Structure 1
Amino acid sequence: MNTDDLAWQAGNYGGLSPRKVDFLLEHGHLDLVIRAAEERGEWFCAERAAQELCRLGEFVRALKVMEPFVATGWRTALWAKADILLRAGRTDEALDLVRPDKEGRTSQTVCRHFAELLAKAGCVYEAIDLLVPHLGESWIRTVLVEITEGQEHDERVLDLIAPHAEAARRARDEGRWDYSCSDAQELQARVLERAGRVDEAIRILGQDITENRYLTQNTLTAYAELLARHGRLDELRELATGQDAHTVLHLYARALRDHGRAAEAETVMRDAIAADDCVGYRAWLSATLLRDGRLDDAITVAEPGFSWYDCFNLLGPLVYPLFDRPEELLYLLEHPLTVPHHGHEEFQHWWRAFALAGLGRAEEAIAVVEAHPDPWIDPCIVRAGLLSTAGHLAAAAAELRDLGTIEAREELFEVLVRQGQAAEAIVTHPTVAEQRAAKQRAAEAKTESAPLREDGYSLEPPF
């Protein structure tokens, strides 16, 4: 284990990924996660194990898990150890461990991490001071607002943000698109709101919108959401039915629903569709009807858009919420109005196979994907995935064991955990070294074999 390996893991979700570690923890395998961290140098195992141990109040064990990673000198592990110490009540040790020197204070990333730690330790004044030299960066301003939430420093934060909000207004007045300060107005309104100065927040941000003195749609959306949170529906309706309807009408409709006026919200959106057949209107209403259990109505609203170039934006939002409801998913995909267009046929074939497998109809599911193979995915892995979805875990495991590739062993992990063989799942899973080597070979093979355009991009998918 060294810093290069650890950085690769963190950057590529290598080794046992966060999702897989969480899966182990959900099944009660904390001790196995700790062992994987110790024996295999699995960073995400160490990180998640330490968090879980802290939650249980076992801070000494959490520090023991983290120590080998800290010993490599990797900064991310050092920050993780500092967080453990802080949660254990050892505040001075935590801060001294990662306190930046003069050079470190020039790094925005270092200052961000240390400011967050300071705020957790209750040292908010020092945290703010640390960030002040870097407030020209929008993401640092966001950190400033987040770490001071509920800390009774709103007036100082407002003083620090105000010049950047004015810079945004001035830039717009001068016809410049200075995106470096484009978030400042909505942050200003957010702090005013949490300080209890809601009317002032609405007045200032509303004036910016009326006078067109803002730089991005995010500011407009922030204003609409501010109005919605405080029940200013008349003002929101005026905003949503004007020139900015495409951006904020759905927020008005959602606010109506939040106030118990669901029928009115539906009428507003149906009227908008009749007057201006916008994809966004159809997508919002269709998804909302689905959440209300009105699948047929949702399909009817979305179906006219299935033949448009962006049909995926209307079909996809209906499909994904139904992944754990295979009977309804199959009904959607076999509905006569649900016809894929413009090269999206492969999505419907995969979705249909997934729905069939979810209903236990594994052979039918496999027949669907065999009739419409995906050239970029190993068919054996697809078959095993469908068998697993259908509950045929032993058959799925056999398929993946026979294949034996790095990818197959990665897929085998979850199947084995579901079979109650978590220890074997970890042993079978490829090591970080194996994953890195496999990715390197794949990259080299692609470089050698793929024909390239003049600009260096591949002529063949995946581009």
Structure 2
Amino acid sequence: FADALGHYDRAIELGLRDHVVWNNKGVALDSLGRHEDALGCYDKSLAANPSYEIAWYNRGNAYSYLGQHERAVECYDRALALKPEYHVALYDKGLALAQLGKTRKALECYERLADLDGRNEVAWFRKGLLHEQLGKYEDAVAAYRRAVGLKAEYQDAWNALGNALYSLERYEEAIECYDKVLALNPKNAEAWNNKGFTFFMLGIHDEALRCYDRALTIDPSYKHAWYNKGYTFHGIDRLEDAVVCYRKALEIDQGDEVLWNNLGNALYNLGRYQESIPYFEKAIGVNPKYEIAWNNIGNALDKMGRHSESLKNHDKSLELKPDFDYALYAKGHALGKLGRSEEGLELIAQALELNPNYDHAWMAKAEVLHDLGRLEEARESLTNALVLNPTYDEAWVFRGNVSLELGDPEEARRCFEEALRSYDVALELEPGNGEVLRLRAKLLEELARDDEALPAYALAAKAGDAPAMAALAGLLLRDGRPAEAVTVARDLAGRTPPDADAHALLGLALLEAGSPSDAIPALEKSLELDPRPRVRRNLARALARTGRTDDGLRALASPGDAEDRLLRGEILRESRRFPEALAAYDAAIATGAHLDVAYLERSRALADAGRFPEALASLDAALGLSSGDPEVWREHGGIALKAGRPRTALRSLERATEIDPADSAAWGLRAEALAALGRTQEAERCRQRANGPALP
């Protein structure tokens, strides 16, 4: 075109300045991207011949290239006024009108074009696209079928036909259309992508993923295929894989707010709430009016218990979209958690008016009603949630707990069994779903079915579910199996990013397993990530058990709360620094918290120091606070024995074994008290209770 432009300039210099030359020079300039200069040439052409329809048409094209579609339409109209059957002008007028959002007027152009030339497959194709924009999918399907009927190898039309059928939820027919495209061109990445997402909608996930992979083999920078692959992984709870795909898509396009939001959602669903928030903020950075991302920030804060902070985000979402049912529900849920139950209930009711089919909103309503003590209404709301979603495991569990509160254990048992069945149904579809495995294990644990809960947690942990790994390690610790807990906790702590809870759990497991030296670095790492009193106390224990008593004491807060002071007393007592230990226990008692424990531990320090009468007095104070605790009665009996008071000891130990008949230590001490009183036969029977099976 640069050469052609030179020829036209030479012709004009030689005096050939008619309308055709000026028009052709304009076309050459348009082809070189010099659209403003081209307009000048078309103006000169039309000055020479105002009836030259080709110049009017080309002038319209130049304005279209410049994005001035209104002026383009005016030019196309001038061309069509001169030549009503000017097909290409009619076609491009339709394009310009579509760019202006005047879909119906654009459609009129293509209907006119189809009337003029019923065999123009492009006109039928454009007509189909415009019908789709208007949501008239059946009409779009008919138009696309005409297009492919006229030109069987028309790939764009086959693909568009598939898309229209997809919109009508005629997924199998849509796949047939994408297959037509791929038969014509196996390297059509768009068709592979579209076929994949249609398989996803049919629930055929493996085939969907295979199609995305084919699309990405053809075009590794195809954002939509990465997005859809991530969305499919998201839909089947392979959330780590979803995160990888969303990140790949964002490497290609960082200006897509939906992508940022979905990446945040995947992290949110992984329980990584704090980590999810910056991605929702990125979405808002792209589109400050993206109400979904604002609400999701609030949801993440709610999950972390930061309900007061969450409200401003839910409010912003509702400012942008006042009838956003999810934000109304979320704000109502947050208000309920803040104790503002009546306000929360009102918002959740508004959400349900807008969307009565939202099971989670019914669940939230039940929670608020429960907090208000309206248990029957709460159970009714849960029934509504379960009508909508019969496999809503969380609702079954909650309904079971509400039924227990209503004094209906049989209904509670039925609800818990339904919850377990719901988990089983979900696991039939996705046997490796770590979250479902964990929730099932958690319910078994809550039902005190630990023999089933342990292997259930192990399965969830094997599936890579981090909360399940933590729960498994905790249950192993409670079951007295710290070495196994260490193995699980070590795997959990080895994950990235580093997690304070995981390192704290590893430290505790190592401490319980008798490896305080190994526990120290794990606990220090946890404190580095998130300094918390509970972890600091475990570090103090670990340091003390390695002989670093003073370092352990320094690890505790000073003066600290009651728990810090109790632990200070324990460490000092174990170091036989009894005066300091007693001072620590007295300081704990002064706080007014955990008094029964403080008096019990104080009595032990006094007994270790040989001050038995004072120890018994301290235990009397503990019994005044907790007369139903068999441990305190046992301790009282044991110290009374050491003080040479077997009758007092026997009374206390009889009370201990009455409260807890399985307390073998109490039976052993009771035998000693009876022996000291010369009641040898009774002593022997108690000794048998301590050492063997219970007597009839």
Question: Which of the two has higher C-alpha Rg?
Answer: 2
Q: What is the TM-score of this pair, normalised by structure 1?
A: 0.36
Greater relative CO, 1 or 2 (CA 8 Å, sep 6+): 1
Q: What is the TM-score of this pair, normalised by structure 2?
A: 0.26
Comparing both structures, which one devotes a greater share of its residues to helix? 2
